[in-house]
A and B are shown apart, each in its own frame.
Chain A
């Protein structure tokens, strides 16, 4: 297939390594600090937003593609990037509209698919 002939395998490799390493940071946080998963998620998104706001995360995105955008740091970066782009276009109003606009797809998908998935799921008593 033509797609696989033009496929950038080096980028795939970089995405695997960088994405994996970001998850290792999360795993060390879980094992060493007893942070709950909820706090890990909040920490990663907030950290990503700050790194994105300083313009630093974009270097990692350029280097590793989805290795940087798929982890929640990338979700945060997307919020920050959206806010900044929007401020450039609409001034101060953009600070309030840009973040959600840029991540609307992901958030809406999460709410929608999340709702559907919980509807079709069978409630199951916890074992143990």
Chain B
């Protein structure tokens, strides 16, 4: 009767006891280094665009496009997931993670065809991100229109 798998809670503590402790400090250091490195690459591209005379908005967009393009192709070549295994959140939290989240499921479901496989599965993770991001931005816009939110705080 003392089967540890009886209840959900008991099962959870059982799993926690059995699974190795994730080395959180080491993970954080790797996330810091690789996340910092990705942002630094972005900063170099950004400075170069400004050096070439582009304005801040265009430079920022170019940084996003280049980083997204790079990580999309690295994902396609199966290199990004190797980086991701070491970096954890370091490659997930920057915009590279967004591109990875589009390519990875698309690759996996390629066998289901180009429309319902690649085309649809691309948005398994990116879809929710866009849904919540865009909806929040509309609420922000409406709130600004009604209450002038930024004038309250700043």
Interface residues of A (CB under 8 A from B): 3, 6-8, 11-12, 15-32, 37-38, 40-42, 44-46, 49-50, 52-56, 65-67, 69-72, 74-76, 78-80, 82-84, 86-87, 91-92, 94-96, 98-100, 102-103, 105-107, 109-111, 113-121, 123-124
Chain B interface, number of residues (Cβ within 8 angstroms) = 82
Beyond A23-B90, A117-B103, whether A42 also contacts B132 by CB under 8 A is yes
A45 to B95, CA, bound (A): 10
Tell whether B3 is near chain A: CB-to-CB under 8 Å. no
A30 to B76, CA, bound (A): 24
Which listed residue (B31, B37, B89) contacts A16, Cβ 8 A?
Answer: B37
Interface residues of B (CB under 8 A from A): 22, 24, 27-28, 31-40, 42-48, 51, 57, 60-65, 67-69, 72-73, 75-78, 88-90, 92-95, 97-99, 101-103, 106-108, 110-111, 118-119, 122, 124-126, 128-130, 132-134, 136-145, 149-150, 153-154
A50 to B139, CA, bound (A): 9
Q: Contact: B40 with A114, CB < 8 Å?
A: no
A106 to B51, CA, bound (A): 21
Q: Contact: B42 with A72, CB < 8 Å?
A: no
Q: Contact: A20 with B141, CB < 8 Å?
A: no
| Chain A residues positioned under 8 Å from B61 (CB to CB) | 105-106
In the assembled complex, how far is the CB of residue A66 from the closest CB belonging to chain B, in whole angstroms?
Answer: 4
Q: Contact: B118 with A119, CB < 8 Å?
A: yes
Beyond A23-B90, A46-B132, A117-B103, whether A16 also contacts B69 by CB under 8 A is no
